[in-house]
Amino acid sequence: PSPESIQSLILQTLSSSGFIPDSRQLAVDGRVLNSAEDQGAVRGVLDSLQSREMIEYKQITTTSFTLTDEGRTINENGSHEIRVWKALPVKGQGEPVTVQELQKLVGPDVAKVGQSRAFKNKWIAKDGNGFVRAVEAPSDETADQLREINEKGDHPGGEGVTKELQKRKLIQPKKHIHYSITKGSNFSTEVKQLETDLTVEMLQSGAWKDSSFKQYNFAATGQPTDGGALHPLLKVREEFRNIFFDMGFTEMPTNRFVESAFWNFDAMFVPQQHPAREMQDTFYVKDPVKSLRPDEEYYQRVRKVHEEGGFGSIGYRAPFSKEEGEKLLLRTHTTAVSTAMLYELANQKGGFKPAKMYSIDRVFRNETADATHLAEFHQVEGVVADYNITLGNLIAFMQEFFAKTGNHKLRFKPAYNPYTEPSMEVFSWHEGLGKWIEIANSGIFRPEMLEPMGLPKGVRVLGWGMSLERPTMIKYKISDIRTLVGHKTDLDQVKKRAAVRLEKGDD
């Protein structure tokens, strides 16, 4: 029967008799709904009606019994003990039956169990070498009980009888569920369509006053909620950050993506003719057209060191354009920030003090995106400024720093940067890849960069920089950077990636 027909049956029955004590008595088109399946369908209808408070119901669980295979044999042929009794002669009216003969007559199993129970019941007795009947007509209680249960599903003797039969594995219980049903506070034979949402239209027209609303289902499990997750780059950034803090570095303010060409290049003694400054490599900003000018005296010292030299340098001896330095661009390295910070350090109240500073933030380069390059990435950079420090100190700083990231075997190779001299590329032995991989760029900042700032003569500044993406990709075994950053990022993967511990090495 359809849920609709069950529903109207329940509502009609309640309307006429007020109470349905047992839902198994309901009948649709003369068919009684007494199977477990029917009661399941009834339950569905009851839940829906109850949620509208049209009815209330109680679940009733009952147990009935069915015969096991063995129970059925006894029901048909009598109990083992009665079969033994039947096989024996009345005392004095025939030869007593021996154990062996009995086994042949009723079978070994029936003989064994039946003989002992018949003895216990005093139905049989020993006579010489065999057995004879000891009573005239015993009543076969077990068979009688099983017949009753087979017909009615239960026995009036209750548990006293059924427990024993269950223990003898002659019957097995079966659970049944049915329901008793009464009218609810919203009882009606008509089922109103319930509104699930209160809409603007209902409010405007006043229709909400006559509408019935669906009840909240507070028992519903609801949608599983999603927790937030740190992007893998942020997890690795946190690791680097902690290493810098461990080593006594302070964080530089890197909240300026747009920088002037002056700070990004000129102040660092990058020649204005350097290819990195061309549009193919650097993103320039159209609007606003010009940056603010730095302090005029400092600016003039920078111009002079480019054009004419100074501080022991012959300079580039090439024209230096004011406009070139006023251009605005997306910073190409965080070293632009380090440069501005070094200028601050030289000109702060009370004069220069030694400092260890770091930054980890975004930089931009005009690159064609491929598996290992994007037009933006993050740089990790450390800078140390102090009197009389040397290349040895730089190497020692990097050895300590990289050891904390699990890189214990380093190699240094001379390199070139316009703003450092000497410069070194840093390589680390990667156990998993079985080769030396480049991990950083480093150097000692040139006097042409530092002295125009007004840093004292004996002050040396060391620095190293690297990308955040590369160690992250190695750690998480990501081969295409486009799956880590950008619109192709798999958010599910972002959530699943575990935290990393850099000091555990590149495995």
> Which residues contribute to the site for ligand PHE (CB under 6 A)?
333, 335, 381, 417, 420, 441-443, 463-465
Give min distance, CB of 270 to ligand PHE, in A.
Answer: 10
Q: Hey, what are 178's tokens?
A: 């049915």
Give min distance, CB of 467 to ligand PHE, in A.
Answer: 8
For residue 270, give the amino acid letter.
Answer: V
For residue 370, give the amino acid letter.
Answer: D
Give min distance, CB of 339 to ligand PHE, in A.
Answer: 10
Give min distance, CB of 314 to ligand PHE, in A.
Answer: 22
Q: Which is nearer to ligand PHE, 145 or 442 (CB)?
A: 442
For residue 293, give the amino acid letter.
Answer: R
Q: Hey, what are 340's tokens?
A: 């501005």
Rounded-to-integer distance, Cα 213 and Cα 415, Å: 75
Q: Which is nearer to ligand PHE, 272 or 441 (CB)?
A: 441
Give min distance, CB of 406 to ligand PHE, in A.
Answer: 21
**Per the omega criterion (within 30 degrees of 0), is the bond before 422 cis?**
yes
Q: Which is nearer to ligand PHE, 154 or 421 (CB)?
A: 421
Q: Are 472 and 231 in contact (CB under 8 A)?
A: no
Rounded-to-integer distance, Cα 45 and Cα 109, Å: 52
Q: Which is nearer to ligand PHE, 111 or 453 (CB)?
A: 453
Rounded-to-integer distance, Cα 301 and Cα 294, Å: 11
Of 70, 1, 57, 2, the closest CA to residue 31 belongs to 1
Q: Which is nearer to ligand PHE, 325 or 463 (CB)?
A: 463
Q: Which is nearer to ligand PHE, 149 or 233 (CB)?
A: 233
Of 116, 115, 120, 117, the closest CA to residue 88 belongs to 115
Give min distance, CB of 458 to ligand PHE, in A.
Answer: 20
Q: Exposure of 402 by Cβ count < 10 A (0-12 exposed, 13-18 middle, 19+ buried)?
A: buried
Of 357, 420, 354, 356, the closest CA to residue 386 belongs to 354
State the residue number with the nearest CB to ligand PHE: 465
Give min distance, CB of 241 to ligand PHE, in A.
Answer: 17
Residues 6+ apart with CB under 8 A from 2: none
Q: Which residue has the tokens 């829906």?
A: 48
Give min distance, CB of 381 to ligand PHE, in A.
Answer: 5
Residues 393, 396, 397, 403, Cα dihedral to 10° = 180
Q: Which is nearer to ligand PHE, 11 or 363 (CB)?
A: 363
Residues 6+ apart with CB under 8 A from 282: 276, 329, 330, 332, 365, 366
Q: Which is nearer to ligand PHE, 281 or 431 (CB)?
A: 281
Q: Exposure of 223 by Cβ count < 10 A (0-12 exposed, 13-18 middle, 19+ buried)?
A: exposed
Q: Which is nearer to ligand PHE, 142 or 423 (CB)?
A: 423
Give min distance, CB of 413 to ligand PHE, in A.
Answer: 13
